[in-house]
Amino acid sequence: MREEAERLIVHLDEDLAVIEKPAGLVVHSAPSHKGQTLVDLLDDVLGGGEGERPGIVHRLDKDTSGLMMVARNEKSHRELARMVKAREVMREYTALVEGRLDSRTGTIDAPLGRHRRQRTKRAVKGSGSRDARTHFEVIETLPGDTLAHARLETGRTHQIRVHFAAIWHPVAGDPEYGTRGRHGLNRQFLHASRLEFTHPGTGETLSFTSELPPELATTLERARQG
């Protein structure tokens, strides 16, 4: 398990790590989930000592892959969490969405809350809505889809997925908000591809990028062929 965890690590120091989460792995344990989680997997490698477990600062959905920050001590966790809340962390995703977007760039500004009938889902103006903004930029227009970068200003649960669905361009393959199995996908086409923030200990600007995993790269080629 240690070797598997080490393969996920992009950056490691005494305060924090940056890892690439694979799709299919739940970040935290929950009553509805039984089995290994990301925290379990990273515990031996990233545990901060004295019983401290890796501190998750922000989350990715189970079937979203890509870059995440993980704190290794309480001080770093507090500061990284503060930066996320203050919107000082740049988090950018690569997404394939259904159809063609009307503009090359834009902002989806729509409050998100819990879906009033399906409690595992989120919805625009749902129960307990909070402000939510997603900025996007088109990378490539394909025959039936659009490849785009999506940058989070806020970080609500399922934010990018719900926001694109709300403008009638759901993330390709999204089983909750879009068309399950589009282009043969068994997950949503959403990858956390860029992460930039200030190191809480050194003040250094850290910037990381991540290429599409093989299954998404293959899907993209299929979508290009229409």
Rounded Cα distance between 74 and 54, Å, is 9
pLDDT of residue 55: 86
Q: What is the pLDDT along the chain (226 residues), one digit of tens a residue?
A: 678 878 899 999 999 999 999 999 988 655 555 667 888 878 767 764 444 456 889 989 999 999 999 999 999 999 999 999 999 999 999 999 999 999 999 999 999 999 988 878 999 999 999 999 999 999 999 999 999 999 999 999 999 999 999 999 999 999 999 999 999 999 999 999 999 999 999 999 999 999 999 999 999 999 999 8
Give φ, ψ of 198 to 5 degrees: -95, 130
**Catalytic annotation present for 61:** yes
Closest listed residue to residue 57, CA positions, set 83, 77, 27, 28 = 77
Q: What CATH code is carried by the domain that includes residue 157? A: 3.30.2350.10
| Side-chain half-sphere CA neighbours of 165 within 13 A | 20
> Of 15, 40, 61, 145, which is the active-site residue?
61
Pairing of strands 65-71, 90-98: unpaired
pLDDT of residue 98: 98
Please, what is the Cα angle at 187 between 182 and 190, to 5 degrees? Answer: 95
Domain count, the chain: 1
Residue 15: domain span: 2-224
Element (H, E) at 74: helix 74-85
pLDDT of residue 200: 96
pLDDT of residue 179: 95
